[in-house]
Chain A
Amino acid sequence: MTWDVALILSIDGLANGAVYLLAGLGLVLIFSVTRVVFVPFGDVAAFAALSLAAFEAGKMPATVGLVLTLAALAVATEVVALVRRREFARIPMAIAGWGLLPALPCLLAWLIAGKPLPAAVPILTSILLVVPITPLVARVALQPIADASALVLLIASLALHFLLSGLGLLFFGPEGSRTAPLATWVLSLGDGFPISAQVLLMITSAIVLSGLFFLAFERTVTGKALRATAVNRVGARLVGIRPARTALLAYGCASLLAGLIGVLISPVMTMYYDSGLLIGLKAFVAAIIGGLTSYPLTAVGAIAVGLVESFASFFSGALKDVIVFSLLIPALMLRSYWATHSEEETEEVDQ
């Protein structure tokens, strides 16, 4: 391996790392607020990419059907819950919030589909289209068991991934697609060393977004409410924070991140309905290096995972994923070595 190759691989790795950083942020956000390890995160990103591809092909994305199906399910869940609690007055609001609001991006998609518009419009629409997905599936599948053990939530979230990827296959079909690059110019570094704008864009957006996240969490009341829920749900409830609402916010933000990842990654990688899992899991490895709680360490982990992946693919393309996942073992061991040994009891098995 020469220095040139190493440099190319490093830049590749940084671009990958940028994606994992964004995904890792989303995972940490969801986990810290809801204790859910959100496995289907990558699926949402894949849906954004596939939506963009559909727009580029001049078609209406299948995401619209998916979102509307999920919205119908969420409305049904919410209405049933309200009827059970006999709070009939809140039903119209529930229908508006869970049914109509998610339908807005679908309406936008319907309006612009097949029309020649500047590239930014379908990109933004693709992102907006997937934003409702995470809050909707969480409302239907996770919120009813929000107080269950972290383990039950993990199992549910894994099942949710299979549900979403199954729906993905149903709605999008098995074909993969790749979208047009977001930017085409190439930056020459030093003696004619090229860096594509796409890579720069990925890295810049990761840096800017993680900065924004940091500011939002440290400086705003909403950010503090999210952190408070993360630390102690009961305590947060006592001071007037509604865990269900902060959870919704976390899911929404994460969904937005997933959408961004989808449109950033789709020009450099052919996306299929099930490509999300590997992106999500690699972001996990990063998030776990950060202990699923620390944002800065997650960033370090993301870059490490990206670099390992790109160098591993140079040595063995077939085994690169195996190598990345093997990285998890030392990371986890370091984690458990550092972790304070607090005595935690697992809940009793339900009879």
Chain B
Amino acid sequence: MNRITAPRLGLGIAVALLALAPAALGNFAVALLNDIGIAALVALGLVLLTGVGGATSFGQAAFVGIAAYASAWLTTAHGVSPWLGLLFALLVTGAAALAIGALTLRLGGHFLPISTIAWGLSIAMLFGNLEALGRHTGLSNIPALRLGPWSLADARSIYYLIWVLVGLATWFAYNLLQSRTGRAIRSLRGGATLLASVGADAFRVRLTLFVTAALFAAVAGWLYAHMNRFVSPTPFDMHASIQYLLMAVAGGLGQLTGALVGAALVLVLKNGLQDLLPLLSSRGTQLEAVVFAALFILLLHHARGGLMGFLTRWTRGRFAADAAASKPAAPVAPVAALASRTLPQRGTPVLSVNGAVKRFGGLVAVNDVSFDVKAGEIVGLIGPNGAGKSTMFNLVTGALPMTAGQVRFLDQNITSLPQRTIARMGMARTFQHVKLRPQMSLLDNVALGAHARTHAGILAAGLGLDGHEEQQIFDEARRQLTRIGLADRAHELAGNLPLGTQRILEIARALAADPVLLVLDEPAAGLRRKEKMALGELLRRLREEGVTILIVEHDMDFVMKLVDRLVVMNFGSKLVEGPPAAVRSDTRVQAAYLGSVA
């Protein structure tokens, strides 16, 4: 058996088993499978949001509740079709998620998850206190679903609807993660600066993800309401939210399949406990919560990757050798390359910094520095440690706001523009402290660089309609990887590269953005001599192609041979500017680096 097809085979068997299940199983088991399917939808959203996107939600059950109540209310109070209820449920849940997300998703660190506790709790309390929603008694007599002439009232008939929806949602999520938006989502954990450097808005990406996860929960809520035909506040409280999170963690936050496996694990275990505990103690139902909480804590102690995480680790150890070979470039029709910018005429000013000042409280990190960079030249920014070079870089790229002064890029004042906009104008950068996504392949990392050059949105991505653009992106990414000499390792994980090579990979990502100006922060650090020579060669070739480069570097030998001009900084001020030979013989520079002769 060919191992490449192993996942497909597994998928085929799983689908076949699920399709045949109702024929083979009793009513109770089918009802359990229905519950598992509904819970898996919610957990799937959580895997996307928490596992991939890094934003934990303790309130996901509230979204299930909003959708369930929305559809229940519309169909009972106004007697419309449950299918219209689905539309309404999606709308209301989406709007609620958009509002909550817009308010809270800018929060950093632990504040975001804590805020989810707050709204998760509040929404569940609202259900129990609103007259229109039947207060604590809830709403009953919700109509069952009908599909044309067939009623889906009984568990066996709604089973197929639930699992088709689970399949569709998984397929959508899978497509999404492989797409342009997906790469941005997978990079969220790398921080907002990384995303801004490729022209993406971390907040928007996160909001999109948050709403998507909420809509997955909404579909689950709608199914719940019309399957049970009764809603009350309890199944949507924080307890339920925690249980959904438990599912995602137990299955494995790192994989989409973790949602399905986790939902099955938790619900089967729950059923088992409900049967077993009353035999052990008269307070069986009370023990259930204790057992679950204890299991959850044990899981966090010993198996934070969940079951699927464990499986992945196990299979990776076994089949790692095949992984690289298993993905040959598929023979597909060639597509047109991504449109690229026309680079400015050689010698025209690209960047001009005018009287830049940056103060951190009393410390003046950059003091009245001015310099120009013209198209097609390599300018080096050097200076002793603490001279303010990196701060200067952050001012130029818009990562830090300037205290005073002005920066112009391509004849536009970019002083107060956000980093993202500057990146989109054609300024690409690398970082002194490498910002790569260690769990993504080299190819995916470079493809992220092309984010601003492409447009496919989340819907096109999820429905798999972005094939053409994806191919363009990957052609470009492969081209850049070949350029830096890493094409043969395209499918390895970026985290496995040595640090020096990771810096080179960042250059490839920057190049994928088709930049006018390339801003490199210590690219040669950690490279061996031969690699440095290759890097120098690459940068010279880029200069010939018309790319302008601004570079901070400590290796004097490397810089002196490479650059056209040098700007020397010391204690935040500009010391000298000029060609390498002149700078080398300047006494002030010598004094700054070596100390003056007393």
Contacts and interface: CB of A to CB of B under 8 A. Distances in A.
Interface of A: 37, 141, 144-145, 148, 150-152, 154-156, 158-160, 162-163, 165-167, 169-170, 281, 284-285, 288, 292, 318-319, 321-322, 325-326, 328-329, 332-333, 335-336, 339, 341, 343-351
Interface string B103-121: 1101111110111011101
B287 interface: yes
B541 interface: no
A6 B106 CA distance: 36
A340 to B, nearest CB: 10
A162 B283 contact: no
Contacts of B305: 349-351
Nearest to B188: A346
Nearest to A156: B300
A165 B300 CA distance: 19
Nearest to B308: A351
Given A160-B293, A326-B122, A348 B439 contact: yes
A156 B122 CA distance: 22
A144 B301 contact: yes
B74 interface: no
Contacts of B138: none
A163 B191 contact: no
21 contacts: A150-B109, A151-B110, A151-B113, A154-B110, A159-B242, A159-B246, A159-B296, A162-B293, A163-B297, A322-B125, A326-B118, A328-B114, A328-B115, A329-B104, A335-B111, A336-B107, A339-B108, A349-B54, A349-B253, A350-B304, A351-B439
Contacts of A144: 301
Nearest to B126: A322
Interface string B253-296: 11000000000000000000000000000010011111011101
Contacts of B106: 333, 336
Contacts of A333: 103-104, 106-107
Nearest to A329: B103
Contact of A344 (B108, B115, B118): B108
B51 interface: yes
A145 B301 contact: yes
Given A158-B117, A347-B189, 18 more contacts: A145-B301, A155-B56, A155-B245, A156-B297, A158-B58, A159-B296, A162-B293, A163-B290, A165-B289, A288-B111, A319-B129, A322-B126, A325-B121, A329-B115, A332-B114, A341-B108, A345-B191, A351-B439
A167 B305 CA distance: 27
B198 to A, nearest CB: 15
B405 interface: no
A350 B292 CA distance: 22
A170 B283 contact: yes
A48 to B, nearest CB: 20
Contact of A328 (B118, B191, B292): B118
B122 A325 contact: yes
B193 interface: yes
Contacts of B313: 351
B568 to A, nearest CB: 28
Interface string B435-453: 0001100000000000000
B590 interface: no
B190 interface: yes
B125 A321 contact: yes
A336 B304 contact: no
Contact of B113 (A154, A166, A351): A154
A20 B189 CA distance: 34
Contacts of B114: 37, 154, 284, 288, 328, 332
A329 B111 CA distance: 10
Q: Interface centre among A145, A159, A328, by most B CB within 10 Å? A: A159
Contacts of B242: 158-159, 162
A107 B211 CA distance: 54
B293 A163 contact: yes
A262 to B, nearest CB: 21
Q: Interface centre among B54, B106, B109, B191, by most A CB within 10 Å? A: B109
A346 B54 contact: yes
Nearest to B56: A151
Contacts of B287: 166, 170
B13 interface: no
B290 A170 contact: yes
Given A141-B297, A160-B297, A155 B125 contact: no
A223 to B, nearest CB: 24
Interface string B325-341: 00000000000000000
B249 interface: yes
B56 A350 contact: no
A267 B192 CA distance: 50
Contacts of A281: 117-118, 121
Contact of B297 (A159, A165, A349): A159
B254 A344 contact: no
A145 B296 CA distance: 13
B239 interface: yes
Interface in B41-76: 51-52, 54, 56, 58
Contacts of A162: 239, 242, 289, 292-293, 296
6 tightest Cβ-Cβ pairs between the two chains A and B: A163-B293, A166-B289, A166-B290, A162-B293, A159-B296, A328-B118
Q: Interface centre among B253, B297, B438, by most A CB within 10 Å? A: B297
Contacts of A343: 191-193
B111 A166 contact: no
B312 interface: yes
Contacts of A160: 293, 297
Contacts of A351: 254, 305, 309, 312-313, 439
A349 B58 contact: no
Nearest to B299: A159
A348 B58 contact: no
Nearest to A152: B300
Q: Interface centre among A167, A343, A351, by most B CB within 10 Å? A: A351
Contacts of A141: 297
Nearest to A278: B121
Interface in B85-134: 103-104, 106-111, 113-115, 117-119, 121-122, 125-126, 129
A350 B309 contact: yes
Contacts of A165: 289
Interface in B147-169: none
Nearest to B123: A322
A319 B110 CA distance: 26
A20 to B, nearest CB: 15
Q: Interface centre among A156, A162, A321, by most B CB within 10 Å? A: A162
B309 to A, nearest CB: 5
B342 to A, nearest CB: 33
B56 A163 contact: no
Given A344-B191, A345-B189, A332 B107 contact: yes
Nearest to A336: B107
A152 B253 CA distance: 12
